[in-house]
C-alpha cells in the first residue's frame, strides 16, 4: 500500500473565506450595521409613535408649527386615565385574553390529532388530506363569516365570547395542522417503531414520545394561533354587539371613534397596551420559535 507523507516544508493553507470579509470596519458597517439599524428602526418606530402619542396633550397632537411631531413636551397621563377608567378597555383586554387562550387550546388539541394521524398513521390518502387542510386556511374569512353567522345564531351564542372561541379554530386549525405536520415529519420513525415493538399504544406514543419532542413546534403553533386570535377583527365585529363583550381590536375602533372625532391619545394608548401581551409572549418563547422554524429532532 502506497502511503504519502508530508514534509516539514509543506504548508497547509485554508482557502475558505468564511466571515473574514467583515473584518474591515467600513464593510462591516455597510453589510451588517446599516441594514440592522434600518430593520430595527422600521420595527420599533410604530411603538415609539404610539408611546409618544399616548402621552401627548391634545394641543400638541396636530399643532406641528409649534411642536415637533416626533417628540412630546410636558407629557400627560390623561389619555391613559381616560382609557383605563372611563372606557371598558380593561374588560376588552380580558375578553381578548379569554378568547385567544380558549381558541388556541382548542385549535392546538385538534391540530395535534390531525397532524399525528396524517404524518404517523399513514392511512390511504393522508397526503391529499393534509393538502386540503392547508388549502382551507387560504379561504378568506370574509367568505366564511356568513355561514358561520347562521350557525352562531342557531346555537344561540351570538354576542358572547363562545361565538369567537368556537369560530376562530376554523382558520387556526388548518394552519396549526400544517405547521405541526412538518414538525412531526422530522421526528425519527425509529422512536415510534421501537415503542410499538415494546407494546406501547398509539396514545402512549403520542403523549410520552411525540409531544415531548415536539414542544418547540407546539409553542410555535400556539404563538401563531394566539397572535391571530388576538388581532382578529372581522369575526369579532360580526358576532359581538354589546360593549362589555368586545375585544380590543373592535372596542378600540368602535368606542374611541365617534363620527369624525378621533380620540387619538386613547387610541394609541389602547393599541400600545394591546400589542404588549403578544410582544411579551414572543420574547419569552423566541428560542423555541426559532428552533421550530430551523429544524426539529435529529437522529
Do 117 and 123 touch, CB atoms closer than 8 A? yes
In this prediction, residues 208-224 reach a mean pLDDT of 88
When mean pLDDT is compared across 81-90, 152-161, 178-187, the lowest value belongs to 178-187
Residues 60/53, Cβ–Cβ less than 8 Å? no
| Residue 261, strand partner residues | 258
Torsion of CA 44, 47, 53, 56, to 10 degrees: -80
Q: What is the DSSP string of 90-157?
A: HHHHHHHHHHHHHHHHHHHHHHHHHHHIIIII--TTHHHHHHHHHHHHTS-HHHHHHHHHHHHHHHT-
Give the long-range contacts of residues 205-213, CB within 8 A, separation 24 or more.
206/112, 206/116, 210/116, 210/120, 210/184, 211/112, 213/187, 213/296, 213/297
For 173-198, b/e burial (b = at least 16 CB within 10 A) is bbbbbbbbbebbebbeeeebeebeee
Question: Residue 40 and residue 29: Cα distance in Å, rounded?
Answer: 15
Angle formed at CA 138 by CA 132 and CA 144, multiple of 5 degrees = 100
Kindly report the average pLDDT of the chain as a whole number. 83
CB of 205 within 8 A of CB of 196? yes
What integer is the mean pLDDT of 207-232? 89
Question: In order of start, what are the domains of the chain with their CATH numbers?
Answer: 21-76 (no CATH), 83-294 (1.10.3720.10)
Q: Which residue has the higher pLDDT, 7 or 177?
A: 177
Phi, psi of 264 (to 5 degrees): -60, -40
Cβ 180 vs Cβ 214: under 8 Å: yes
With beta carbons less than 8 A apart as the criterion, state whether 181 and 118 touch: yes
Question: How far apart are alpha carbons 180 and 89 in whole angstroms?
Answer: 35
pLDDT of residue 168: 93
Q: pLDDT by residue (tens digit) across 246-272? A: 999 999 888 888 777 788 889 999 999
What pLDDT shows up at residue 11? 52
Contact 184, 192 (CB under 8 A): no
Helices (H) then strands (E): counts for the chain: 17, 2
For the segment 55-93, what is each residue's pLDDT rounded down to a tens digit? 998 888 888 888 888 888 888 899 999 999 988 999 999
| Structure confidence at residue 38 (pLDDT) | 92
- The pTM of the full predicted model, rounded to 2 decimals, is 0.81
Angstrom distance (rounded) from CA 271 to CA 194: 51
User: pLDDT band at 5, cuts 50/70/90?
Assistant: very low
Amino acid at each position: 500500500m502506497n502511503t504519502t507523507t508530508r514534509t516539514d516544508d509543506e504548508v497547509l493553507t485554508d482557502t475558505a473565506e468564511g466571515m473574514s470579509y467583515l473584518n474591515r470596519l467600513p464593510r462591516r458597517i455597510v453589510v451588517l450595521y446599516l441594514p440592522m439599524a434600518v430593520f430595527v428602526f422600521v420595527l420599533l418606530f410604530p411603538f415609539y409613535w404610539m408611546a409618544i402619542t399616548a402621552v401627548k396633550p391634545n394641543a400638541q397632537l396636530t399643532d406641528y408649527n409649534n411642536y415637533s411631531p416626533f417628540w412630546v413636551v410636558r407629557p400627560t397621563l390623561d389619555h391613559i386615565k381616560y382609557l383605563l377608567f372611563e372606557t371598558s378597555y380593561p374588560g376588552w383586554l380580558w375578553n381578548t385574553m379569554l378568547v385567544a387562550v380558549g381558541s388556541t387550546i382548542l385549535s392546538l388539541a385538534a391540530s395535534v390529532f390531525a397532524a399525528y394521524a396524517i404524518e404517523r398513521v399513514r392511512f390511504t390518502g393522508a397526503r391529499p388530506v393534509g393538502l386540503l387542510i392547508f388549502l382551507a386556511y387560504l379561504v378568506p374569512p370574509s367568505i366564511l363569516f356568513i355561514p358561520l353567522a347562521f350557525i352562531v345564531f342557531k346555537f344561540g351564542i351570538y354576542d358572547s365570547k363562545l361565538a369567537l372561541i368556537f369560530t376562530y379554530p376554523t382558520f387556526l386549525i388548518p394552519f396549526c395542522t400544517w405547521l405541526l405536520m412538518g414538525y412531526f415529519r422530522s421526528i425519527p420513525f425509529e422512536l415510534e417503531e421501537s415503542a410499538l415493538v415494546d407494546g406501547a399504544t398509539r396514545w402512549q406514543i403520542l403523549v410520552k414520545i411525540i409531544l415531548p419532542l415536539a414542544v418547540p413546534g407546539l409553542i410555535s403553533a400556539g404563538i401563531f394561533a394566539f397572535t391571530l386570535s388576538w388581532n382578529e377583527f372581522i369575526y369579532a365585529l360580526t358576532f359581538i354587539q354589546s360593549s362589555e363583550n368586545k375585544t380590543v381590536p373592535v372596542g378600540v375602533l368602535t368606542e374611541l371613534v365617534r363620527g369624525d372625532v378621533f380620540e387619538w391619545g386613547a387610541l394609541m394608548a389602547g393599541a400600545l397596551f394591546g400589542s404588549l401581551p403578544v410582544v411579551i409572549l414572543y420574547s419569552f418563547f423566541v428560542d423555541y420559535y426559532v428552533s421550530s422554524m430551523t429544524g426539529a429532532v435529529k437522529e
